[in-house]
A = this chain, B = another copy of it.
């Protein structure tokens, strides 16, 4: 996926880098002003801060400047903003959609964001403050407060006139929401229906009353799930009294899905929420340190277990070389099981209702694959050392490790989900540590029985 997609950007990045080296300002200006903000944001990842500043200043259109700021990742954004005078920032923000302003202000230091808000036009700043009052990850936090809402007794003709005069700032005006006299959401009409209905009809006569809506405090992932599941382009957001206060559009939903999937993967390796590749080496190290601790403690625990057997088991020197393969086979199949369960739960193809059928299936798969690989590795050991009790110990060790891993690898995320803990967060270190220690213990216990003390 990655390789092919990046090709067009690769050309753009290399062209801009070459022009920057040559100092070919007129050409750069042409390219920068012709490129889409989304593409420029990717170029910015690959050029130095002073060059980012230069390129940014070459942008002629103020809306384009705002669009680029919205597309940048957090650390590039913060670096760039440092060099922009506050008054220019205010001007740029005033040309941006409200939800994007709220997003960007949320990233800035408190003091700076307050100073910008105070300099913005009152109407804009009030809308932004409203959005900022909702949680970051909720429908309220990601909605746009601009939408088309008309009274239910409006006629089609009046509706079209109102579209011509107002609502120029609505981002994706493909649905008209219908409200009663108190502003409560009662129906929805698509622009398409409006166009094909006789001008004198009233909205309430042909609107659809079956409206999916979410509340301001609904989690953003639930919002995304609803938009995706029911194939709609925008979902209306209502407050506690069912008054329409905003909409979440499908483009934001796509961003949520892109981000969530990435976050799930990163969480599973302990890099977690909001990780950004452009963080400094030290901040990245600090962030990745804690998760590695679980593996470290597990490893230390294994060393005690092994030390115990090492001191008492005569054939320890023969058995030890197989520790990596016994533990590794368990670790690998455990990673498969937990990834399958974590993703299955996230996409809805697995359900926590079916907890036991899922776990037994993974256990059973672990057993089957454990028999296969136990045989393979046992035969290799026999070939290497010609000691049948060693070969059997190794084979059974692999079998034990792989079936335990299938069981624990699926059990842990299922239990986490039941307890309403995000299964992606803590599955991996918890699982691999437990599997490691138990595997080693089983392997040597079996060997002790078979080979004697």
A residues near B, CB below 8 A? 1-6, 9-10, 13-14, 36, 38-39, 42, 45-46, 73, 160, 163-164, 172-174, 191-192, 194-196, 219, 221-222, 225, 227-231, 233, 250-251, 253-255, 257-258, 260-262, 264-266, 268-271, 275-278, 281-282, 284-285, 288-289, 291-292, 295-296, 298-300, 302-307, 310, 316-318, 320-329, 331-333, 335-336, 339-340, 342-354, 358, 361, 364-365, 368-369, 372-373, 376-377, 380-381, 384, 417-424, 428-429, 432, 436, 440
Contacts and interface: CB of A to CB of B under 8 A. Distances in A.
A259 to B, nearest CB: 8
B352 A10 contact: yes
A343 B270 CA distance: 14
Contacts of A321: 302-307, 310
B317 A228 contact: no
A292 B250 contact: no
Nearest to A311: B317
A440 B303 contact: no
Contacts of A324: 298-299, 302-303, 306, 323-324, 327, 436, 440
A298 B377 CA distance: 11
A92 to B, nearest CB: 19
A15 B393 CA distance: 49
8 contacts: A1-B424, A4-B420, A5-B221, A233-B250, A264-B265, A298-B325, A303-B321, A328-B436
Residue among A5, A192, A268 with the most chain B CB within 10 A? A5
A336 B288 contact: yes
Residue of A3, A38, A174 ringed by the most chain B CB atoms within 10 A: A3
A251 B257 CA distance: 12
A163 B191 CA distance: 11
A339 B195 contact: no
B281 A364 contact: yes
A241 to B, nearest CB: 22
A174 B191 contact: yes
A166 to B, nearest CB: 10
A163 B196 contact: yes
A323 to B, nearest CB: 5
A265 B354 CA distance: 22
Contacts of A258: 228, 257, 261, 347
B2 A417 contact: yes
Contacts of A285: 365, 368-369
Q: Which one of A160, A231, A299, A305 has the greatest number of beta carbons of chain B within 10 Å? A: A299
Contacts of A316: 317, 320
Given A195-B164, A351-B45, A365-B285, A271 B336 contact: yes
Contacts of A262: 261, 343, 346-347
Contacts of A194: 195
A300 B346 contact: no
A372 B174 contact: no
Contact of A320 (B275, B276, B320, B328): B320
Contacts of A291: 332, 336
A351 B39 CA distance: 12
B3 A353 contact: no
Given A265-B268, A299-B377, A335-B428, 14 more contacts: A2-B422, A5-B221, A6-B345, A10-B352, A13-B351, A36-B230, A195-B195, A233-B250, A265-B343, A275-B340, A277-B350, A282-B368, A285-B368, A307-B384
B257 A261 contact: yes
A277 B344 contact: yes
